[in-house]
C-alpha cells in the first residue's frame, strides 16, 4: 500500500517540518498561564507583595514554571520553602542556562527545581541574570546543599553568587580561563593528551 504522505508528494523534509509544527501547536494548546486561582505558589508570591518580581509563568503538562527577576530570589525561595501552601523543603537541582542564540534577553537563567516532601508537588523557579551583570544572591541560607551547585554554575557559566561562603571553581583547574558551558566558549584548540603524544613531549624536552 502506498503511503498517503508519499502520494501527496511530501518529502522527508516536509514531513519533519509538519511534525515539528504539529508538536509546537500541541504544546501551545497544553500551556496555560498561572494565576492566584490555579496556583498556590503564584498566590503566595502575590500575597507577599512579590507579584512585581514575576516576569512570566506557565503550566505545561502538569509542571509549573515561574520566571522571576533575580533581585529578590532569596526571599522568593524562602517563601517557597516556608509558606504553608508551598512547603518546598527540598531543592532537587540547580543549574544554569545560556540563552545566547535564542533571541531572548537576558542571556542567562539560574533554574531551581524544587520538590515538596510534604505535598509531593514540584515547581521550577527561573531567575533571570543579565550578561552585563552576571551575579545573583546565593541561596545557601535557604538550603544547606546549595553551595555545591552554585560553585558548578559559577565555574561553568561565570555567574557569581553574592554572599556565597566559598565561591571558587569546582570542576575546572584554578588557572582555567573562561567558562566552558557558555555558548560562545571556543570548541577545540586544546590538545588531547594520549600516551603517544605525552611520550613525544617528554622525549623532546630532554
Using the predicted structure, report yes or no on whether residue 13 has a pLDDT greater than 90.
no
Q: Of the candidates 173, 133, 169, which has an alpha carbon nearest to the alpha carbon of residue 152?
A: 169
pLDDT tens per residue across span 28-69:
555 789 999 999 999 999 999 999 999 999 999 889 999 999
Confirm whether 56 is domain-assigned. Answer: yes
In a domain, 88, yes or no: yes
**SS3 state at 166:** coil
Q: For the chain, what is the domain count? A: 1
| 20 located within any domain | no
Write the CA distances from 21 to 25, 160, 164, 195, integer angstroms: 6, 38, 44, 49
SS3 88: coil
Distance, CA of 112 to CA of 35 (rounded, Å): 20
Residues above pLDDT 70, as percent of the chain: 78
Note whether residue 69 is domain-resident: yes
Average pLDDT, the chain: 87
CATH of residue 67's domain is 3.30.460.80
Instruction: Flag whether 96 is in a domain.
Output: yes
3-state helix, strand, coil in the chain (%, to 5): 35, 20, 45
The b/e string for 29-56 (b: 16+ C-beta within 10 A; e otherwise) is: eeeeebeeeebbbbbbbeeeebeebbee
Report yes or no on 60 lying in a domain. Answer: yes
* Separation CA 183–CA 97 (nearest Å): 10
Determine the structural domain holding residue 60 and report its residue range: 30-138
How far apart CA 86 and CA 84 sit, in angstroms, is 6
Q: Is the pLDDT of residue 82 over 70?
A: yes
Would the pTM count as exceeding 0.85? no
pLDDT single digits (tens) 87-112: 999 999 999 999 999 988 999 999 99
Q: How high is the pLDDT of residue 194?
A: 74
Cα–Cα distances (Å) from 109 to 100, 125, 126, 182, 205, in that order, read 11, 10, 6, 12, 46
Query: Does 206 score more than 80 pLDDT?
Result: no
The whole-angstrom separation of Cα 125 and Cα 76 is 9
The C-alpha atoms of residue 201 and residue 43 are separated, in whole angstroms, by 64
Are the C-beta atoms of residues 68 and 126 closer than 8 Å to each other?
yes
Residue 172 maps to a domain: no
What's the CA gap between 164 and 141, in Å, rounded? 9
What number is the average pLDDT over the span 109-134?
Answer: 97
In a domain, 184, yes or no: no
Amino acid at each position: 500500500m502506498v503511503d498517503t504522505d508519499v502520494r501527496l508528494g511530501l518529502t522527508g523534509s516536509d514531513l519533519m517540518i509538519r511534525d515539528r509544527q504539529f508538536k509546537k501547536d500541541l504544546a501551545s494548546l497544553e500551556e496555560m498561564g498561572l494565576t492566584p486561582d490555579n496556583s498556590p505558589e503564584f498566590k503566595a508570591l502575590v500575597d507577599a507583595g512579590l507579584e512585581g518580581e514575576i516576569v512570566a509563568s506557565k503550566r505545561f503538562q502538569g509542571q509549573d514554571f515561574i520566571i522571576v527577576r533575580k533581585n529578590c530570589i532569596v526571599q522568593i525561595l524562602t517563601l517557597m520553602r516556608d509558606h504553608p501552601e508551598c512547603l518546598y523543603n527540598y531543592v532537587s537541582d540547580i543549574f544554569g542556562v545560556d540563552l545566547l542564540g535564542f533571541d531572548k534577553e537576558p542571556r542567562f537563567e539560574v533554574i531551581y527545581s524544587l520538590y515538596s516532601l510534604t505535598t509531593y508537588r514540584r515547581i521550577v523557579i527561573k531567575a533571570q541574570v543579565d550578561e552585563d551583570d552576571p551575579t545573583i544572591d546565593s541561596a545557601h541560607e535557604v538550603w544547606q546543599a546549595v553551595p555545591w551547585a552554585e560553585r558548578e554554575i559559577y565555574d561553568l557559566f561565570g555567574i557569581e553568587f553574592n554572599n556565597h561562603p566559598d565561591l571558587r571553581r569546582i570542576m575546572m583547574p584554578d588557572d582555567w580561563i573562561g567558562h566552558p558551558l557558555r555558548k560562545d566558549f571556543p570548541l577545540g584548540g586544546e590538545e588531547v593528551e594520549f600516551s603517544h603524544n605525552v611520550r613525544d613531549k617528554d622525549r623532546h624536552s630532554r
